[in-house]
Every structure is written in C-alpha cells, then in structure tokens.
C-alpha cells in the first residue's frame, strides 16, 4: 500500500515519520542557543577582524586561535562537546534527528560549530573512525580529534570525473610491499590547507578489476 509520495512505509503511525525533536534533547538545544548568543556572538567580529591581518591565507592569526581555543574550553566545561556522534558513548548520545536541530543553530554563526567540536569534515571523519577504526587508528587520530586538538579532511573529489559517484574515481592506490603508493589528483578538499589538519580520509581505487561498487577503499593519509 502506498501511503504518499516517496513514503514506502506500511504503518503511517511509524515513529520514524515523526520529525520533531525529542523532549530529552530540548535542554541541550536551548543550552547551545544560549552559548552561541552569550559566548560566540560577542567575539565573532573580532575573530574576523584579526583574520584580515593574518599572513597565511590558510592559517590563522594567533589572536584568532586564542579566541577559538577559549570558546572550545568554555564549551567543553559546560558539556557542549562532540554533540554530533549519534548513539555513541563518546558523544552526547543524541539521535541524528535531534542533532539536526542543533546543527541548524550552529550553522548560523561561522565559529559555533568548531567551538563545540562539531565541524565538518571532522564530524563525519570521527564517526567513521569511531565506527570502523582499528584501536591503533582510534588512538592516533580519533582521540586528538575528539579532544579538538587536530583537524582532518575528507578527500573524494577529483578533476575530470563525476565525483558525486564514487564508482567513477580514478585516483589509484597500489600496495607495494607493506606501503600503499597513491597516484592521482584530488581537489576541492575542505580544510586540507589548515595547518592543524593532520589526517585525510582519502577515497581511492584499489581494486580496478572488481565490480564497480567494490573497487574503492578509504585510506588514512597522514598530512606530514
């Protein structure tokens, strides 16, 4: 039975159709809005004023780092930290739906997401590491990311191919002894130029003879 356009669900009372925020998430949502208004908004103009004085286009003025680190310390102290990780022990344990409302508030100020350690692409990268990372990868990359000590990038897009479709990616990785040798070009990689970016989750073609949807792997590429 078709319930409505695009809704291929048998039970119209299915709670997954309810897109309201849960009651339990409301206090965190209110706290985030208050934090942005009281702590983030007042320093935002100064952050951008200092940015105009920085010498490196990809880097930060020392005063900008002071502002950001100060906000991060305050956010962590009041428990507004890593809110993005759904159903996990390392995050707040919010559902993706509850977090969507918080993310829409964070998106209204350019410093808010990072202040709460909820910046893309770190958020998606941390989720990948948390869900499928080895203990060694978690120790090396996830821990400092969760602590807001480093940043990361996600590299999928390439010139000359339709990069929204991972099956088309051409950048190759070949195992040579115990090292992966990567050849190809990635571009439009957000945050890759940030001096704090230490790791890039990179989507690569590793099995060119496999079926199209099984040719790719993601390799953690250290930036240094």
Ligand X SMILES: Cc1cc2nc3c(=O)[nH]c(=O)nc-3n(C[C@H](O)[C@H](O)[C@H](O)COP(=O)(O)OP(=O)(O)OC[C@H]3O[C@@H](n4cnc5c(N)ncnc54)[C@H](O)[C@@H]3O)c2cc1C
- Provide CB contacts within 8 A for 193, sequence distance 6+: 57, 58
Count residues binding ligand X (CB under 6 A): 12
Under rule CB under 6 A, residue 204 binds ligand X: no
Cβ–Cβ under 8 Å, residues 152 and 141: yes
DSSP helix/strand/coil, 200: strand
Q: Which of residues 7 and 162 has its CB atom nearest to ligand X in the complex?
A: 162
Cβ–Cβ under 8 Å, residues 40 and 71: yes
Measured CA to CA, the distance from residue 93 to residue 82 in angstroms comes to 9
Under rule CB under 6 A, residue 164 binds ligand X: yes
Under rule CB under 6 A, residue 37 binds ligand X: no
Under rule CB under 6 A, residue 156 binds ligand X: yes
Shortest distance in whole angstroms from residue 102 CB to ligand X: 22
Measured CA to CA, the distance from residue 218 to residue 163 in angstroms comes to 15
Measured CA to CA, the distance from residue 190 to residue 155 in angstroms comes to 8
Under rule CB under 6 A, residue 44 binds ligand X: no
Q: Of the listed pieces 58-66, 67-75, 128-136, 185-193, which binds ligand X according to CB under 6 A?
A: 185-193
Q: Which of residues 68 and 189 has its CB atom nearest to ligand X in the complex?
A: 189
Q: Of the listed pieces 6-14, 86-94, 173-181, 187-195, which binds ligand X according to CB under 6 A?
A: 187-195
Summarize as ranges the residues that interact with ligand X (CB under 6 A): 121, 154-157, 162-165, 188-190
């Amino acid at each position: 039975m078709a319930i409505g356009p695009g809704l291929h669900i048998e039970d119209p009372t299915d709670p997954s159709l309810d897109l309201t925020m849960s009651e339990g998430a409301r206090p965190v949502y209110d706290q985030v809005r208050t934090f942005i208004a009281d702590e983030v908004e007042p320093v935002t103009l100064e952050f951008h004023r200092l940015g105009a004085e920085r010498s490196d286009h990809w880097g930060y003025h020392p005063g900008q780092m002071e502002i950001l680190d100060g906000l991060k310390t305050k956010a962590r102290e009041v428990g507004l930290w890593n809110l993005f990780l759904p159903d996990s022990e390392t995050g707040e344990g919010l559902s993706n739906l509850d977090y969507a409302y918080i993310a829409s508030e964070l998106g209204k100020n350019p410093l808010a997401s990072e202040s709460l350690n909820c910046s893309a692409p770190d958020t998606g990268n941390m989720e990948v590491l948390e869900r499928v990372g080895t203990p060694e990868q978690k120790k090396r990359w996830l821990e400092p990311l969760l602590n807001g000590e480093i940043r990361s990038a996600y590299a999928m897009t390439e010139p000359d191919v339709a990069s929204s479709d991972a099956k088309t990616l051409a950048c190759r990785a070949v195992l040579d002894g115990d090292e992966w040798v990567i050849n190809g070009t990635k571009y439009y990689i957000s945050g890759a130029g940030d001096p704090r970016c230490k790791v890039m989750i990179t989507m690569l073609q590793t099995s060119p003879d496999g079926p199209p949807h099984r040719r790719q792997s993601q390799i953690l590429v250290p930036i240094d």
